[in-house]
Structure 1
Amino acid sequence: MTSSEDDETYWSTTADEETTGIAKSGSRPEVDGATMLATLHSGIPVILAMRPYQNAAAIPALIRQLAAHNKGKVTLGAIAPLNHIKPDDPTEFLPGCTGATLKIADPVTYLFHGDNSTKKKPTKVRWPYQTSSTDEIKTDSWAESVGQAQRDVGANLILSPGNWKPAEEAEVEINLEVEQFEAISKQSNDKETCALNLTLGSTWLTQERTRDTLLESIVATQPAAVYMRVLWPKLAHNYASLSDVSILKGYKEICETLSQEDIPLLLPDTDLTGWYLLAFGATGFGTGVTSGARAFKPDQAGGAGAPRKPRYFQPGMLHTVLKTEQTLIESTISGTVCSCPYCAFSRSTNIWTPAAEGGHHLNRISDLTSDISNRKTRRASAKSTIIKAAEFTANVMRQIPLESNSQPSHLSQWEQLF
């Protein structure tokens, strides 16, 4: 099983084996704006699963499986980036995500507008708003076209455009986004909710002046929700979590402030770092079956020609290791094996593909989230999980020689911020 078609079948069949109710019926009631607001304020953490460029048809089954497995403890959502979807080829992706309460069509305008030289601009332009001029993208009518594109593909959480904001003119940048958020909000109906969409350089978090400007603007605007991605520095490798303390401190203050103000905060492209930020008041985070959905960072050159190494998310270490190292951990230290449907299928077939890797990753991330679902004990539970992960990692490294990329570098930084 090596082709993308085989991987797609693998994802779908293994996900549906464990799914009950929602998955078998293939439907659930549509969520209106009022229900979505209640969900965002319920205290139940949200996981947003990103649509990958390949094998997208398999993701709805995975979301249904996760929704059924974590019912009552985790709310599932789906993100479809609009650079992946053609206007003249109506997609069934978001309507097909029947296990998802939140359905987001991310306009990803930062890929097309603004001087963000760290991200490659797409070679294909699919929607008219992606080709607009510098002057046009400052207008309410352009913002409204961005909102309508999201409705056209089945989104129920409508985002403001979210153009790139480097904090060179902080007040001007945030004021324009607020104006466009308000323009889109005027278009909204009772079947949807609108969110303030922010795509930020890390200076917004690391500098007190810009951080204050950001928070003051959000609190004054009182959006129904904030959808915020921050450009991280380059990571050591694709499986690393954020360990930059200055950025983490900024995240912490924003999470805590918006939680106190009762403004839901969603953090796409953050994966395990987003899970960590739930402890400080974030409402939810985004992740996916590929590493590109787990961090918003500068594009990095891959190892051209190097064979891909099978990897495995090790929840006890809060980190990803080589699959061969995981086999040693199971036989030498933990004595237990993962019970998720992807690992069960892999054991019965002796197959471990990128599909299995991605499905397992989301299952274990959702379990970690379920474990800290109780808002009253979430902070203490997350801290305890991180301390145990550091202890378990130390024990593993005393007995098993791990390659450098398999050694987590974020745990001590995360613990010190509690």
Structure 2
Amino acid sequence: MTGEWENEGSGFQEDAEDEFPLEEAGSALSDRPYESIPIQTIDGQYYLVLSGENPGSIVPIASDSSNKTNRTAPHIRNESQIFDSDLPLMLLNLTGRTVDQGNELLSRLHAEYGEHLNLGVCASLARHNKSKINKAFDCSVATVKIADPEAFLVDHASLVLEGDNPTDFTNPDTALKVERRVAARSRRAAYFEMERSGIEWIKAILEAQREVGANVFLTSGKSLRSSDFRQSLDEIIAEGNDAIECLEPGERLALNLTIPLDCILNETFFNEILNELLEHDEFDTWYIRTQWRPDRESNQLKDATILHRYKRLSELAEDEEKILILAQTGWVGWNFLGHGATGFSTGPSQNAQKFQQYAITRRRKGVGQNERFFEKSLLNVVDGSMHASLRNESDYVSCECRWCDEIDSSPLFSHIAASWHEVYCQGALSAEIQRSAELRRGGRRSYLRRTIDSALLFAQGKGLVGRENPTFLRTWRDLI
């Protein structure tokens, strides 16, 4: 094989926004014309800013475009109302270049689907500076604000992560990038430089979350270990109990659990996790992240063992009336809203939607990204030519989000707009799973079954091959 090639990471990366092509880095959605919509408040008539300067803010004066709709955005629930409700929760994972874009997306989702959907933001303390986190947390409709400590980032013995030692890399540019990344992490999250146990470490982690304005607090999130599983699980439970003692009045804590691939696949280990969650009633909120294998054959998780583990977690949460948030799961998390999970986190990049084992892939230098477009009719991503073909089908379900309008009106395909379209669809279908459950017998599972069956039916005879063929949906359907 000839030609120049470059390495490209897949799986967890600390700078997920770098997945976008550099030429699109400046296409901020905040440059769009100012647009707002009336919103219900207890203090009179106000307006929710959808686009333009400071999307997501509440202002007393409408824009001219507000008169183009008769809709009124629903009341914004407070944190207590969110966790007392039965509505699904979608958390948007913050990425460095996408604060304004994320605030616009959340605002549009609230304006259109807020009656049946709760929204929030999840930011990494290790990967984002305080000013970016503060700006994301300023979005008025993002009621849940989580600042994830992500202590798992240094658990290289348990998880398959991007390397942290610059001397392990022969390419000097890569080594410099790693050195800067590790240094930035230490500046942003000083607790990484502390001993990873003890009450002072726990206090430092909680205080770091307070400083940026989080309103749902997490334990550290350090990983379980297969080598001494029982001890590592006991440590995490003990850390959670110590964290409860360190909370200030009115603060809510979630047990932050990171599960490596070998632990989630081990049935004995997994049963111990379930037993511990069941036994420790003091934790009413579970924030769980599980690492998967990279899968080059499918766009979504189809590992039956891991999917069944998620199902058991979701059903346990539902039976015990616990709040389960499946971190960094995207469409997989959406799927388990139909099995008892409360919420999931997602974002406009593959790394924001999948916590996969880190792996190196190679692509030819100078070759840009393929066009990738999420199809609601398929619940899957296809390339640009297949998207154009599917739009001519009589049973095609189109999307009318404003990011699709941007793609259709431009001669050049926008990867960023396509990414936001996909996240918008996740929010819209999360609200639909709740709305349908309220209107029809069978609840969320019935909606999930009908939606998956419809996608499988649409896929027939369309010439879909490889990753475009949503074979994972058959495994998802078997869970119902």
Q: Same fold (TM over 0.5)?
A: yes
Distance 2:415 2:141 in 1: 23
Larger fraction in strand: 2
Distance 1:131 1:211 in 2: 31
Q: SS of the counterpart of 1:103? A: strand
Alignment of 1:218-257 (within 5 A): 218-222=277-281, 223-236=283-296, 240-257=299-316
- Displacement of 1:190 in angstroms is 4.3
- Displacement of 1:91 in angstroms is 4.2
Q: Give the one of 139, 145, 151 matched to 2:204.
A: 145
Unmatched runs of 5 consecutive residues or more in structure 2: 1-20, 40-46, 50-55, 60-76, 165-180
Note if 1:107 corresponds to 2:169.
Answer: no
Alignment of 1:6-17 (within 5 A): 6-8=26-28, 10=29, 13=32, 17=35
Aligned residue number for residue 26 of structure 1: 57
Contact 1:165 1:200 in 2 (8 A): yes
Contact 1:47 1:77 in 2 (8 A): yes
12 and 313 in structure 1: CA distance in 2 versus 1, 3 angstrom threshold = farther
* One-letter amino acid of the counterpart of residue 104, structure 1: I
Aligned residue number for residue 472 of structure 2: 410
- Displacement of 1:219 in angstroms is 2.1
Aligned residue number for residue 96 of structure 1: 138
Aligned residue number for residue 189 of structure 2: 127
Aligned residue number for residue 7 of structure 2: none
40 and 143 in structure 1: CA distance in 2 versus 1, 3 angstrom threshold = same
Write out per-residue CA displacement over residues 110-142 of structure 1, whole angstroms, 9 at most, x where no aligned residue: 11245245111443323211122xxx2121210
Distance 1:270 1:333 in 2: 31
Aligned residue number for residue 419 of structure 2: 358
Aligned residue number for residue 224 of structure 2: 165
Aligned residue number for residue 336 of structure 2: 277
Unmatched runs of 5 consecutive residues or more in structure 1: 29-33
Q: SS of the counterpart of 1:43? A: coil
More displaced stretch, 264-273 vs 94-103: 94-103
Distance 2:152 2:433 in 1: 33
- Displacement of 1:274 in angstroms is 0.7
Write out per-residue CA displacement over residues 264-306 of structure 1, whole angstroms, 9 at most, x where no aligned residue: 1000111111111111100011110111111110123244323
Aligned residue number for residue 252 of structure 2: 193
- Displacement of 1:335 in angstroms is 5.5
Q: Give the one of 265, 271, 288 matched to 1:206.
A: 265
Distance 1:319 1:351 in 2: 22
- Displacement of 1:20 in angstroms is 5.1
69 and 266 in structure 1: CA distance in 2 versus 1, 3 angstrom threshold = same
Q: SS of the counterpart of 2:289? A: strand
340 and 90 in structure 1: CA distance in 2 versus 1, 3 angstrom threshold = closer
Write out per-residue CA displacement over residues 90-112 of structure 1, whole angstroms, 9 at most, x where no aligned residue: 74234322211111111111112
Distance 1:12 1:290 in 2: 21
257 and 336 in structure 1: CA distance in 2 versus 1, 3 angstrom threshold = closer
Distance 1:283 1:309 in 2: 34
Aligned residue number for residue 326 of structure 1: 387
Contact 1:112 1:131 in 2 (8 A): no
Q: Give the one of 40, 57, 68 matched to 2:83.
A: 40
12 and 116 in structure 1: CA distance in 2 versus 1, 3 angstrom threshold = farther
TM-score in terms of structure 1 length? 0.89
More displaced stretch, 225-234 vs 332-341: 332-341
- Displacement of 1:163 in angstroms is 0.2
11 and 250 in structure 1: CA distance in 2 versus 1, 3 angstrom threshold = farther
Distance 2:229 2:31 in 1: 45
- Displacement of 1:183 in angstroms is 2.2
Aligned residue number for residue 373 of structure 2: 312
- Displacement of 1:345 in angstroms is 2.4
Aligned residue number for residue 15 of structure 2: none
Note if 1:371 corresponds to 2:432.
Answer: yes
Q: SS of the counterpart of 1:233? A: coil
Distance 1:90 1:241 in 2: 30
More displaced stretch, 53-62 vs 140-149: 53-62
Distance 1:90 1:291 in 2: 21
* One-letter amino acid of the counterpart of residue 26, structure 1: S
TM-score in terms of structure 2 length? 0.78
- Displacement of 1:403 in angstroms is 5.2
* One-letter amino acid of the counterpart of residue 208, structure 1: E
43 and 114 in structure 1: CA distance in 2 versus 1, 3 angstrom threshold = same
- Displacement of 1:5 in angstroms is 4.7
Q: SS of the counterpart of 1:72? A: helix
20 and 327 in structure 1: CA distance in 2 versus 1, 3 angstrom threshold = farther
Write out per-residue CA displacement over residues 29-56 of structure 1, whole angstroms, 9 at most, x where no aligned residue: xxxxx95344224110111111113233
Contact 1:200 1:230 in 2 (8 A): yes
Aligned residue number for residue 93 of structure 2: 50
208 and 360 in structure 1: CA distance in 2 versus 1, 3 angstrom threshold = same
105 and 369 in structure 1: CA distance in 2 versus 1, 3 angstrom threshold = same
- How many residue pairs get aligned? The number is 402
Distance 1:208 1:38 in 2: 36
Distance 2:451 2:116 in 1: 17
* One-letter amino acid of the counterpart of residue 416, structure 1: D
* One-letter amino acid of the counterpart of residue 92, structure 1: N
- Displacement of 1:378 in angstroms is 0.2
- Displacement of 1:83 in angstroms is 1.9
Note if 1:388 corresponds to 2:454.
Answer: yes
* One-letter amino acid of the counterpart of residue 347, structure 1: D
325 and 54 in structure 1: CA distance in 2 versus 1, 3 angstrom threshold = same
Cα RMSD between the aligned structures? 2.5
